[in-house]
Amino acid sequence: MANRYWVGGSGTWDNVSILNWSATSGGAPLASVPTSADNVVFDSASGTGTCTTASGSTCATATLNSSTLGLTLGNNHTMSGAFTLSAGVLNLQTFTLACSSFFSNNSTARTIAFGTGNISVNGNAGSIINITTSTNLTVTGNPVINATYSGTVGTRTLSMGASGTGGTEANSVSLNIISGSDIVTIGGGMRDLNFTGFSGTLSANSFSRTIYGNLTLSSTMTLSTDSGATTFAATSGIKTITFNTKTIDAPIVFNGVGGTFQLQDNFTTTATQAVTLTNGTLDINGKTLSCGFFSSGNSNVRTIAFGSGNIIVTGSGFSWATPTTTNLTITGVPVVNISNNSSVATTVQSGTLPETSSISFNFTTGTYPLTFLGSAGYTAKNINFTGFAGTWNATAVAVIYGDLTLSTGMALTASANTMTFGGTSGTQTLTTNSKTVDFPLTFNGVGGTFSFADALTLGSTRAFTITNGTVKLKNGTTNTVGSFTTGAGTTQRFLQSTVAGTQATITDPSGVNAATYLTVQDIAATGGATWNAFSANNNVDAGNNTGWDFGISPSYTYEFPMKLRSFTERNRF
């Protein structure tokens, strides 16, 4: 093994010419051409210009450390050892640089011009790629490094440009781990990360990964539990994520201003790991995203594009957290399934969203105390508790735009705060499953219909208010309220039975219930309360009602003037 130094500036590196080779740095030329056992060095004494490889070029290792002389591949170049880029320009053009390892871990100005070429790294032990410090590294073309070791022995470490040390989207490189069943450790920032063909283990990192491009896992690989987060950070275009049935046991963050991250299949993390949307668009693309926790609680511009897909949250505690919905856009048919089968107290923060983009929540299992719609102004679309056997703490003024289905096994905490049903189109169905709803209910959806699937029992002090829309009580049932009223406004509202011509009963044990701008049909009003729906107050008796007073106005006593009474008395005979 010998060292060979390039001298004399521009020239061709093949297996014949000795014009540019020296045995020492800056020394006399005409040393022998490097063999596969020799180390090649390009340094400050190499001259100015370009060394271009040709057929037959080879070496054991190579170091490019010259700001005045670049190395350009004129054909594929294969070496048995490491290639180190410390300074200068490495131009691959359309060819492959094959080596055991590739290093460029410094802050000197240097460039890798990939063109349509690539670097192939076949090492299997220790650090095979180290670009951790990529300050002043410029990457052009289509940057691809292929890790090609195909054996079973060893641990490969690939350290890419880390945040804070020059690692950026612009100078990131794509990594393809295309073979092997060994152990691979990858960290830092990279463009695409593709494991197709790999059947080994991706080991845990003590530092995080940042992916600026696509991620493709292999169906035959194994993933270790990882404390470091994997962050998707592209700032433009659509980047794809393919899990190939694998479960990730690591935190996942989407944080690319202007980027779109699109699932290609179902996306799964373990129940202890969080998915966080900080910036950009998470495109579920009709698939299922399953995670322990989901969070997007800032005011950055961000979007969750559900399409026909859904999100499953399996963790306890703050399982879903979108308390701040400023600049949050929801598209598609948003469905979140809270599937936490535990007794640990859980909070779901839905935030405040308009009717068109409010999220439907299904609580499918568990016996935990649930705080949901627990802050003023929070909204939800459909809410379904089927399978849930815990306690719902609905402690704030909130709005439901869709259906509500309670479960027979759940409990509801009493509250003086009003739950409002605000759907403005279609029919929203309310199913109580014999549970007592011990908080006030208000129906306030212009153009909306709110239909009960079974009997309603409100707490004895809770008001039942119709402000806008149509409320239909289940025909043949008795519905108990603490009081009944119509809200402010002059829009006509409606109280009906679910089956025309068949009565439903509303009962209140005491007090005076007065309505305005209410059309009543097929409703029996009972109990000890008085039910006033005077026509003078723009109420309408639409038929088949009992127990209501639809008189013109309240009755009153009129006292005749004294003189008139005297006149009458004087002339009564």
Q: How many CB atoms lie within 10 A of CB 468?
A: 21
Lookup: tokens for 138: 């410029």
Q: Residue 207: its pLDDT value, please?
A: 66
- Give the pLDDT mean for 337-362: 97
Q: Residue 1: its pLDDT value, please?
A: 84
Question: Whose CA is closest to 419, among 389, 480, 462, 455?
Answer: 462
Q: Taking 90 as the threshold, does the pLDDT of residue 567 lie above it?
A: no
Mean pLDDT for the chain overall: 94
More confident residue, 552 or 95: 95
Residue 276 within a domain: yes
Residue 208 within a domain: no
Q: Taking 70 as the threshold, does the pLDDT of residue 325 lie above it?
A: yes
Look at the pTM and tell me if it is higher than 0.75: yes
Distance (Å, rounded) from C-alpha 297 to C-alpha 234?
20
Asked if residues 546 and 503 have their Cβ atoms less than 8 Å apart, the reply is yes
Q: Taking 50 as the threshold, does the pLDDT of residue 572 lie above it?
A: no
Question: Whose CA is closest to 505, among 483, 484, 522, 520?
Answer: 522
Amino acid in the structure at residue 349: Q
Q: Taking 70 as the threshold, does the pLDDT of residue 367 lie above it?
A: yes
Q: Residue 162: its pLDDT value, please?
A: 83
Among the residues of 106-259, which ranges form H helices?
none
Q: Residue 22: its pLDDT value, please?
A: 98
Q: Residue 226: its pLDDT value, please?
A: 87
Amino acid in the structure at residue 510: S
Quick one: pLDDT band at residue 535, thresholds 50, 70, 90? very high
Domain that holds residue 335: 229-404
Residue 238 within a domain: yes
Lookup: tokens for 375: 């802050």
Q: Residue 554: its pLDDT value, please?
A: 62
Sequence-distant (≥ 6) Cβ neighbours of residue 476 within 8 angstroms: 502, 503, 504
Residue 153 within a domain: no
Residue 339 within a domain: yes
Residue 281 within a domain: yes
Amino acid in the structure at residue 463: A
Q: Taking 80 as the threshold, does the pLDDT of residue 560 lie above it?
A: no
Asked if residues 132 and 107 have their Cβ atoms less than 8 Å apart, the reply is no
**Number of structural domains found in the chain:** 1
Q: Taking 50 as the threshold, does the pLDDT of residue 568 lie above it?
A: no
Percent of all residues in the chain with a pLDDT value above 70, rounded to a whole number: 96
Amino acid in the structure at residue 445: G
Q: Taking 90 as the threshold, does the pLDDT of residue 564 lie above it?
A: no
Residue 236 within a domain: yes
Q: How many CB atoms lie within 10 A of CB 168?
A: 16
Q: Taking 70 as the threshold, does the pLDDT of residue 509 lie above it?
A: yes
Asked if residues 222 and 201 have their Cβ atoms less than 8 Å apart, the reply is yes
Lowest mean pLDDT among 1-15, 162-176, 229-243, 277-291: 162-176
Q: What is the 3-state secondary structure (H, E, C) of 184-209?
A: EEEEEEECCEECCCCCCEECCCCCCE
- What would the pLDDT profile of 379-416 be if each residue is shown by its tens digit? 999 999 999 999 999 778 899 999 999 999 999 999 99
Amino acid in the structure at residue 530: T
- What would the pLDDT profile of 76-95 be if each residue is shown by its tens digit? 999 999 999 999 999 999 99
- What would the pLDDT profile of 213-266 be if each residue is shown by its tens digit? 999 999 999 999 988 899 999 999 999 999 999 999 999 999 999 999 999 999
Lowest mean pLDDT among 95-99, 205-209, 399-403: 205-209
Residue 345 within a domain: yes
Quick one: pLDDT band at residue 464, thresholds 50, 70, 90? very high
Supply the Cα-derived Rg of the chain in whole angstroms.
37
Q: Taking 60 as the threshold, does the pLDDT of residue 108 lie above it?
A: yes
- Give the pLDDT mean for 6-15: 97
Q: Residue 164: its pLDDT value, please?
A: 74
